[in-house]
Amino acid sequence: MDMTSPLVLPEGSPTGGTPSQHLRFPRFLPAFKDPKTTGGMILFGVNYASGGSGILDYQGSLFISLNQQIKYFQNKTICALRTQFNNTQKLSIYLAKSIFVFNSGGNDIEQECSGPAPKEKCASDEFLESLLANFTHQLKIVYNLGARKFVLFGVQANGCNPQHKATLQPTEKCKEDINNASKTFNSLLRSSIDKMNKSLPGSNFVFVNTYGIVRNVFDNPQSYGFKVVNQSCCTMSPGMRGGACEQYSTPCMDRKTYMYYDGAHFTEALYKLLVKKAYNSTLPTEVYPFNVAHLAGLT
């Protein structure tokens, strides 16, 4: 979960870069766990993201789950913001104008599809509906804490990640059990947008179709300037979870032509494309019901 600050969008907004660059922030969002993320540092937003975390809590996990991230926001960041504003009304206005960005669910689906349970479970209606119910409950908690603007990035086409390439049959491009689960979850999430916008007064939820955007690049790479879609820019370490890079390995020379940097994560070039689409696309198949630029301008 990321939180970005209130803002006024200038005309001629930039067309590339991170969300904070699009929104003309002075710096990248500081990590919550960074000791320097205190005082005025938090006024332009806080990054709670934890690699490998998910919507659900997994026993023995070393990652910070979304539930814990929300607790950090509730018990630490909001308390610090109260000190900064020293005015309840101003704090409420600040939170209502802030943009809360969520990118979660993919690791939960991977966990189910790659675990000992039958593969069908990860795409079952029961599991995916339960996953969505947990997620919407978490979103409502943040709403009740004062948030009104939400950006929800859908689960990407994780079945096409290079880390899965070794497990595919010669005729397969992707692990479609994972992809099918991701598509179903995204469909449920997109449908929930209208319900939450209606049931939570003053709220504005935006869904970004990460799966559709990334899969389109995967299937039509040259149209977007990419050449390599099914292997990582770096050498993957066989002993590292998530297809991480082998220590001290030399990455590819032309990273802009690769979709994936390691076995599971995009290169900067693909992240920039995804963020650009989220920010200013006018296609409802990519952003719904409107883009982040429009969301940011709402009062």
pLDDT digits (tens, 9 = 90+) for 252-262: 999 999 999 99
**Dist. CA 240–CA 162, nearest whole Å:** 14
**Dist. CA 186–CA 178, nearest whole Å:** 12
Residue 176, pLDDT above cutoff 60: yes
Average pLDDT, the chain: 87
- Name the one residue in this structure whose structure tokens are 């020379």: 253
Domain that holds residue 171: 2-213+281-297
Residue 36 lies inside a defined structural domain of this protein: yes
Contacts (Cβ under 8 Å, ≥6 apart) of 142: 1, 70, 73, 100, 150
Amino acid symbol at 293: A
Domain count along the chain: 1
The answer to whether 271 and 278 are in contact (CB under 8 A) is no
Residue 31 lies inside a defined structural domain of this protein: yes
The answer to whether 209 and 152 are in contact (CB under 8 A) is no
Angle (nearest 5°) at CA 108 between 107 and 112: 110
Residue 113 lies inside a defined structural domain of this protein: yes
Residue 221 lies inside a defined structural domain of this protein: no
Model pLDDT for residues 58-89, shown as the tens digit of each residue: 876 778 999 999 999 999 999 999 999 989 99
Residue 237 lies inside a defined structural domain of this protein: no
Residue 69 lies inside a defined structural domain of this protein: yes
Q: What is the 3-state secondary structure (H, E, C) of 270-291?
A: HHHHHHHHHHHCCCCCCEECCC
What pLDDT score was predicted for residue 190?
A: 97
What pLDDT score was predicted for residue 112?
A: 86
Phi first, then psi, for residue 268 (nearest 5°) are -60, -35
Neighbours of 86 (CB within 10 A): 9
Residue 105, pLDDT above cutoff 80: yes
The mean-pLDDT minimum among 87-96, 237-246, 256-265 falls in: 237-246
| β partners of residue 60 | none
Model pLDDT for residues 224-239, shown as the tens digit of each residue: 999 999 999 999 987 6
Residue 168 lies inside a defined structural domain of this protein: yes
Residue 232 lies inside a defined structural domain of this protein: no
